[in-house]
Amino acid sequence: MAHWVLQGNPTRWEDPHRLWTEPVTRWCVTGVQRQVAVGDGVLLWLANRDPAHRGVHAVARVEGEPTTEAGSPKPYVDLSVTDYVVHDPVSVLELRESAFATHPILRMARRTAYPCSPEEYDAAVALVAAHGPTRMPPAHGGAEGPASEGAARPYPAQDGRDRVRGTM
């Protein structure tokens, strides 16, 4: 099994809460489509002009072989997001202090997809776990119940009000 960091376009993901409100089921894998395989581990990285929103926002698993969509030459894979940390993403600063510190996305985040070593992946997943992840919202096919120990915590909504995160 391989591991990947798949980066989100900062224009599309300017509001990182969209990852939660519009759950992802596919992601572009330009440049690594020949290496990506079903079962591979994925870190979803959102690039953002605001450094507080830049970093790992979710952990996922590849669920399908790369395919192209009608009208687009870009390859996509089906994903199953296992843990969301949109409410408290793993920041660049935290990643720089972990075994992820040498990953190329921390130096020059210009590609869509990057390979990730098992050590880098495990370090990022441990940080995600420490942030209290949740699973897919029930409104989008998830079931009730927390992803990890503890109850659901609120996350700041884009309108400034707190909402309780849906959990699985």
Which range, of 23-27, 48-52, 159-163, averages the lowest pLDDT? 159-163
| pLDDT bracket for residue 144 (50, 70, 90) | very low
* Contact yes or no for 6/32 (Cβ under 8 A): no
Q: What is the CATH number of the domain that holds 73?
A: 3.10.590.10
Q: Is-contact 44 13, C-beta < 8 A?
A: no
pLDDT digits (tens, 9 = 90+) for 39-59: 999 999 988 777 777 899 999
Residue 119 CA from chain centroid, whole number: 17
**Which DSSP string corresponds to 25-80?**
SEEE-TTTTTT--TT-EEEEEE--SSGGG-EEEEEEEE-S--EE-TT---EEEEEE
162 or 130: which leads in pLDDT: 130
Cβ–Cβ < 8 Å for 40, 5? no
Q: How far are the Cα atoms of 46, 59, 61, 89, 128 from residue 35, in angstroms, in the given order?
A: 22, 19, 14, 27, 25
Least confident piece of the model among 53-62, 69-78, 86-95, 158-167: 158-167
Give the pLDDT of residue 137: 58
Q: Which residue has the higher pLDDT, 159 or 61?
A: 61
Mean pLDDT of the chain: 78
Q: Is 154 helix (H, G, I), strand (E, B) or coil?
A: strand
Region 55-80 average pLDDT: 91
Confidence class for position 25, pLDDT limits 50, 70, 90: confident
pLDDT at 112: 82
Q: Which residue has the higher pLDDT, 130 or 149?
A: 130
Tell me the three state secondary structure of residue 14. coil
Mean pLDDT in residue range 20-45: 89
- Total count of domains within the chain: 1
Domain extent for 101: 3-164
